[in-house]
C-alpha cells in the first residue's frame, strides 16, 4: 500500500513539475529578456538567460521615476481600499443569499446574474460614470469595481457548502445575522474569502480601462495604464492614416513592463498562500 502511494506521489510531483515548467518558462523568457541588451534580442531573439545583461529597459521605464512611483501609489491605494470594500459588500450579499430561509434568494440570484450577460455597452456606462462625478477622481477607479457577480457566485457556492449546524447553534445562542457573518462564517470560509480577495485585488491591480475613461491628470494614472501606454508606443496601428511620431521602445522594455506589474504581486502572494493550505479550517469546524 505504501509503495503504491509513494509511486503515485512521485509521479504526481513529476507531472506537476512539468506543468509548472510550461507556465514558468514563458515567464522566465520575459524576465530574461527584460534584462537583456536590446541588440542581442534583435540578433538572437528572446532568451531566458540574457546573453548580454542590461538594465536599459528598466531605466527607460523608471526614467520618469516620480511618475512611476506615483502610479504605484495610486494603484496600491485603489487596490487596498477597493478590495476591502469589495469583500465587505460581496460577503454580505453572498452570505444572505446562501441562507435557505430567504424566500427571495433565487430572484436576487437572477437579478445579480443578468448583468453578467446583458450589458448596455460602453456608451451608457461611460455616461453614468461621468455623471457621477468620477472624472479625475480616485474614487472613480474604485467604486465601479466594488462588486463583481462572478466573485459573488463563487463565494455563494462556498457559503452554501458551510455546515448548517454552526449557524444554527449560533442562532440558538441568540446571535444576530451580522454577528454570525463576522465572527463565525468569515473564519470558517477563509479559503473562499481568500480566493475572492485575491481575485478582486488582481482585478484592481490590472485595471486600466477606467483610467482611460476617467483620468486626464497624470498624477492619477494607475500603474497598468501607464505601462500600457509605454507598450503601445511600439504598436503602430496598421492601416491607420494617422501618422505616429515618437520614440519606439525596445522589445526589452515591453518585457520589463510585465515584470514591473507582477513584481509586487509576487511579493504579496506567498502571504496569501497560507489560506490555501489544508488544515487551517478544520479546527474551527470541529470546535
The alpha helices in 35-64, defined as continuous H runs, are 38-44, 56-61
> Is the CB of residue 217 less than 8 Å from the CB of residue 74?
no
Provide the minimum distance between the beta carbon of 224 and other proteins in the complex, in angstroms, as a whole number.
9
Q: What is the DSSP letter of 148?
A: -
Angle at the Cα of 156 from the Cα atoms of 151 and 160, rounded to 5 degrees: 155
* Piece in contact with other proteins (CB under 8 A), picked from 70-78, 165-173, 258-266: 258-266
Name which of residues 58 to 77 contact other proteins (CB under 8 A): 60, 63-64
By CB under 8 A, tell whether 172 contacts other proteins: no
Q: Which stretch binds other proteins (CB under 8 A): 76-84, 98-106, 166-174?
A: 98-106
Question: Are 179 and 231 a contacting pair, CB within 8 Å?
Answer: no
Map residues 227-246 to x or -, x wherever contact with other proteins holds by CB under 8 A.
-xx-xxxxxxxxxxxxxxxx
Size of the site for other proteins (CB under 8 A): 136
Cα angle value 261/21/231 (rounded, 5°) = 30
Shortest CB 285 distance to other proteins, Å: 7
Q: Which of 95, 187, 268, 283 binds other proteins (CB under 8 A)?
A: 95
Pick from 184, 186, 262, 268: which binds other proteins (CB under 8 A)?
262
- Cα 234 from Cα 244, distance rounded (Å): 10
Smallest distance, Å, CB 236 to other proteins?
A: 5
Minimum gap (Å) between residue 73 Cβ and other proteins: 19
* Residue 146 is a binding residue for other proteins (CB under 8 A): yes
Distance CA 133, CA 142 (A): 13
Could you say whether residue 53 binds other proteins (CB under 8 A)?
Answer: no
In angstroms, give the least distance from the CB of 144 to other proteins.
Answer: 6
Min. distance of Cβ 11 from other proteins in angstroms? 9
Which of 35, 38, 134, 207 is the binder for other proteins (CB under 8 A)? 38
234-254 core/surface letters (b: 16 or more CB in 10 A; e: else): eeeeeeeeeeeeeeebbbbbb
Q: Which of 130, 169, 183, 283 binds other proteins (CB under 8 A)?
A: 130
Residue 216 phi, psi dihedral angles, 5° rounding:
-110, -25
The CA-atom distances, in angstroms, between 59 and each of 28, 64, 229, 252, 255 are 20, 9, 16, 11, 13
Interaction between residue 10 and other proteins (CB under 8 A) = no
Q: CB–CB of 251/37 below 8 Å? A: no
Amino acid at each position: 500500500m505504501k509503495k503504491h502511494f509513494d509511486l503515485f506521489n512521485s509521479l504526481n510531483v513529476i507531472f506537476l513539475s512539468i506543468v509548472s515548467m510550461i507556465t514558468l518558462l514563458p515567464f522566465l523568457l520575459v524576465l530574461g529578456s527584460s534584462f537583456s541588451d536590446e541588440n542581442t534580442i534583435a540578433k538572437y531573439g528572446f532568451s531566458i538567460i540574457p546573453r548580454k545583461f542590461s538594465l536599459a529597459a528598466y531605466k527607460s521605464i523608471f526614467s520618469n521615476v516620480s511618475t512611476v512611483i506615483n502610479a504605484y501609489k495610486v494603484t496600491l491605494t485603489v487596490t487596498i481600499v477597493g478590495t476591502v470594500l469589495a469583500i465587505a459588500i460581496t460577503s454580505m450579499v453572498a452570505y444572505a443569499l446562501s441562507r435557505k430561509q430567504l424566500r427571495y434568494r433565487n430572484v436576487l440570484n437572477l437579478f445579480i446574474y443578468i448583468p453578467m450577460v446583458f450589458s448596455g455597452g460602453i456608451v451608457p456606462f461611460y455616461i453614468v460614470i461621468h455623471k457621477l462625478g468620477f472624472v479625475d477622481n480616485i474614487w472613480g477607479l474604485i467604486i465601479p469595481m466594488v462588486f463583481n457577480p462572478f466573485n459573488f457566485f463563487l463565494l455563494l457556492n462556498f457559503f452554501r457548502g458551510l455546515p448548517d449546524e454552526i449557524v444554527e447553534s449560533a442562532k440558538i445562542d441568540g446571535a444576530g445575522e451580522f454577528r454570525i457573518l463576522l465572527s463565525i462564517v468569515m473564519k470558517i470560509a477563509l479559503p473562499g474569502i481568500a480566493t475572492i480577495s485575491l481575485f478582486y485585488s488582481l482585478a484592481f491591480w490590472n485595471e486600466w480601462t477606467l483610467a482611460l475613461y476617467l483620468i486626464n491628470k497624470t498624477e492619477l494614472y494607475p500603474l497598468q495604464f501607464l505601462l500600457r501606454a509605454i507598450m503601445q508606443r511600439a504598436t503602430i496601428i496598421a492601416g491607420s492614416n494617422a501618422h505616429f511620431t515618437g520614440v519606439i521602445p525596445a522589445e526589452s522594455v515591453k518585457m520589463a513592463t510585465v515584470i514591473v506589474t507582477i513584481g509586487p504581486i509576487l511579493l504579496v502572494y506567498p502571504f496569501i498562500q497560507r489560506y490555501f493550505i489544508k488544515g487551517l479550517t478544520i479546527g474551527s469546524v470541529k470546535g
